[in-house]
Amino acid sequence: MTASKNTDNNNNKEQEPIDFASIQNLTESEAQAIDQLILEELTSDVILINQIGHYIINSGGKRLRPMLLLLTAKALNYNSDKHLLLAAVIEFIHTATLLHDDVVDESDLRRGKDSANAVWGNAASVLVGDYLYSSAFEMMVRTNNMRVMEVLSKTTTAIAEGEVLQLLNCNNPATTEEKYLDVISRKTAILFSAATRLGAILADASPEVENSLAAYGQHLGIAFQLIDDALDYTSTKDELGKNLGDDLAEGKPTLPLIYAIEKGTPEQANVIIEAIKAGSRDSFNAVYDIVKATNAIDYTESRADEEAEKAIKALEPLPESEFKEALKLLAQFSVQRNY
């Protein structure tokens, strides 16, 4: 990373904050319809499914992935209503991954509230996550579109692969930046990409536009996760909605740690290596000082900026509209946010 890039990155952070609410307003009526659809689809005669499903769905969150599908469809002048069903499908899949993630990571806090597994236990969380996955596939069948089902089935497979790869990387300080980016590309970015690709598919967009929008989602998802990595060392518990240092406590070699190991002194590198191996929050303050001293946060934010810029460039084939502009602003928001 060059000094000029780091300066540019700092300047980007000082730009006027993106008004996320104004972007949400563009899809407000559709978002309300999706929330209603989600509540209807969560109705089950198994009471525990209703309880956990409603708890996690109603616990906040930006609904960013469904919003991406809605904005993409509207940017391409889609005029039917299947995008509402697929946006709900995307949210169900995302919620299922959250339930499973919190069990795997042994997390007890999600979006500022007790995680579902902390309230009902691991077994219930896993099984309700499975229910949400199954419901998502049941819903997507209603589109009668094999292309849609192909994209979503490949997406859920890739997410599972990313989860397993992340598990293999846990407590492994030898994880490279390349391997780490492979994990987040599958585990996180692929669902962003699926959301934007599906909007193009519903609108019968050309292969060029479909692939460009899929690339937009992929780059946006990577940028989003990289900022999450940085926020684990720079945000607050209240802003982030989870405990700081969770990644370190879980032994996850995220990009700030990978970079700090590479650029730090042998003594500094050893502190981080041992912390990753131990998977303990006890070393958080010492690791934080090293991450800060090696400019690892600046580097991570710089890499996120690069991905956001690639996302914006991928939007070039789209016709100009307020929805295209909103997609650009979302890319900028992804690297400006503090939560």
Q: Output Rg (C-alpha) for the chain, integer angstroms.
A: 20
What share of the chain has pLDDT > 70, as a percent? 90
| 331 and 312 Cβ atoms separated by less than 8 Å | yes
pLDDT for position 111: 60
Looking at residue 137, which CATH number applies to its domain? Answer: 1.10.600.10
The three state secondary structure string of 12-28 is HHCCCCCCHHHHHHCCH
Full domain range(s) for residue 266: 20-336
Question: Does residue 242 belong to any structural domain of this protein?
Answer: yes
Q: In whole angstroms, what is the distance from residue 204 CA to residue 217 CA? A: 18
Q: Is residue 15 part of a domain?
A: no
Count how many domains the chain has: 1
Q: Whose CA is closest to 35, among 87, 79, 98, 81?
A: 87
Q: Is residue 8 part of a domain?
A: no
| Residue 7 confidence class, pLDDT cut points 50, 70, 90 | very low
Residue 65 within a domain:
yes
pTM here is 0.89
Q: Is residue 90 part of a domain?
A: yes
Angle between helical axes of 284-293 and 255-263 (0-180°, round to 10): 70
Mean pLDDT of the chain: 88
